[in-house]
């Protein structure tokens, strides 16, 4: 059975964990009825928590969504990210790899993450040869990268001007420009740190506001390229239990009672959101007509086939069309 919206089953839960992209956020706008549904849950005294596989800090996400009209205390109670989880581990200096238990120097592929690494023992270096490990940043491309791979020009999307206000920064719908970096890092035997396991994200384009949002490559794709080549990959975020442990600890610190039988995770991705919920024994709720799941279905996949890939019993999952009903 597929329910029309979340409200049809909300009475069975007190604590609602929401993914962001593909659940209430479409990349350039909110899905119809999503904020209203979340707002109603808060008004009913339910606890609504957004847990996002984003390298951004929660304070930045709260500010960003606030500018779009999503208000903490009204539309949700708490928001946190995999970037927050990474930050805590960096501050504790407990990043450890099998063949490098005390790493210090890191090389960034993609976008640097100064806020996460600030005031920690870890030092960014300018060449892979100097590094102890690779950090998978948001896989943006810069002018030199775009110039090096003109054959993929139809797969690049300019998303913003760079930090100096000069040239542009690009998203990409293909991971091919990252192959050379991955191969070199694997050849050097470097392990990998990643704080966003998502393979893709549907993004709008602020520099081209009339353009339709598209699915672009995200950190998890690059991390998977490393994993398939035999590199050790340490990840924070869904589906890993670390982000749920962090969430539950934060909630308990704030006086929220955790009853897993009355806790659900609403997501659009079987591999991350649903698998993560199963891993921590809370109820997984899958949006089948939004986000990644709708894209998978358009390519011929089914909920059952995707669950089989992740060793999940499809009967464990509650399916809804969308949070607010489309």
| Average pLDDT value over all residues in the chain | 95
Contact assessment for residue 199 and residue 220, using Cβ atoms and an 8 Å cutoff: yes
pTM surpassing 0.75?
yes
Task: Give 95's contacts (C-beta < 8 A, 6+ positions apart).
Answer: 89, 103, 122, 133, 193, 234
Note the pLDDT tens digit of each residue in 63-116: 999 999 999 999 999 999 999 999 999 999 999 999 999 999 999 999 999 999
Per-residue pLDDT band at 167 (split at 50, 70, 90): low
pLDDT given at position 225: 98
pLDDT given at position 207: 73
Q: In the chain, what are the domains? A: 2-84+239-320 (3.40.50.1000), 93-235 (3.40.50.1000)
Contact assessment for residue 167 and residue 212, using Cβ atoms and an 8 Å cutoff: no
pLDDT given at position 168: 82
Note the pLDDT tens digit of each residue in 200-257: 999 987 777 667 889 999 999 999 999 999 999 999 999 999 999 999 999 999 999 9
Query: 3-state class of 232 per DSSP?
Result: coil
Contact assessment for residue 263 and residue 17, using Cβ atoms and an 8 Å cutoff: yes
pLDDT given at position 159: 80
Return the percentage of the chain with pLDDT > 90, whole number. 88
Per-residue pLDDT band at 164 (split at 50, 70, 90): low
Q: Is 47 exposed, middle or buried (0-12, 13-18, 19+ CB in 10 A)?
A: buried
pLDDT at 166 over 70: no
Note the pLDDT tens digit of each residue in 172-197: 999 999 999 999 999 999 999 999 99
pLDDT given at position 140: 93
Which of 149-158, 209-218, 292-301 ranks highest by mean pLDDT? Answer: 292-301
Q: What is the mean pLDDT of residues 306-325?
A: 96
Q: What is the mean pLDDT of residues 37-62?
A: 97
Write the secondary structure of 42-86 as one string of H (helix), E (strand) and C (coil): HHCCCEEEEEECCCCCHHHHHHHHHHCCCCECCCECEEEEHHHHH
């Amino acid at each position: 059975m597929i329910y029309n919206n979340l409200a049809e089953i909300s009475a069975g839960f007190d604590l609602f964990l929401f993914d962001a992209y593909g659940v209430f956020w479409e990349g350039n706008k909110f899905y119809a009825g999503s904020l209203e549904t979340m707002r109603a849950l808060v008004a009913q005294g339910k606890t609504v928590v957004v847990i996002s596989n984003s390298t951004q800090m929660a304070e930045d996400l709260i500010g960003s969504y606030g500018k779009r009209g999503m208000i903490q205390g009204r539309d949700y109670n708490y928001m946190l990210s995999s970037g927050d989880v990474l930050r805590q581990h960096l501050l504790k200096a407990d990043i450890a790899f099998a063949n490098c238990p005390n790493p210090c120097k890191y090389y960034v592929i993609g976008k640097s993450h100064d806020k996460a690494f600030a005031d920690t023992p870890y030092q960014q270096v300018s060449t892979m040869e100097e590094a102890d490990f690779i950090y998978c940043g948001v896989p943006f491309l810069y002018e030199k990268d775009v110039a090096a791979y003109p054959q993929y020009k139809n797969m690049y999307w300019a998303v913003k001007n760079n930090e100096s206000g000069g040239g542009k920064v690009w998203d990409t719908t293909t991971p091919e420009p990252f192959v050379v970096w991955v191969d070199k890092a694997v050849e050097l035997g470097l392990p990998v740190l990643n704080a966003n396991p998502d393979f893709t994200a549907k993004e709008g384009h602020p520099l081209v506001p009339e353009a339709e949002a598209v699915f672009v490559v995200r950190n998890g794709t690059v991390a998977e390229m490393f994993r398939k080549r035999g590199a050790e990959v340490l990840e924070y975020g869904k589906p890993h239990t670390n982000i749920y442990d962090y969430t539950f600890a934060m909630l308990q610190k704030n006086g929220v009672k955790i009853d897993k039988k009355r806790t659900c995770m609403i997501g659009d991705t079987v591999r991350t959101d649903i698998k993560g919920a199963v891993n921590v024994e809370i109820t997984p709720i899958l949006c089948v007509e939004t986000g990644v799941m709708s894209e998978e279905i358009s390519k011929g996949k089914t909920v059952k086939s995707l669950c089989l890939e992740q060793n999940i019993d499809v009967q464990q999952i509650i399916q809804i069309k969308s949070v607010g009903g489309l």
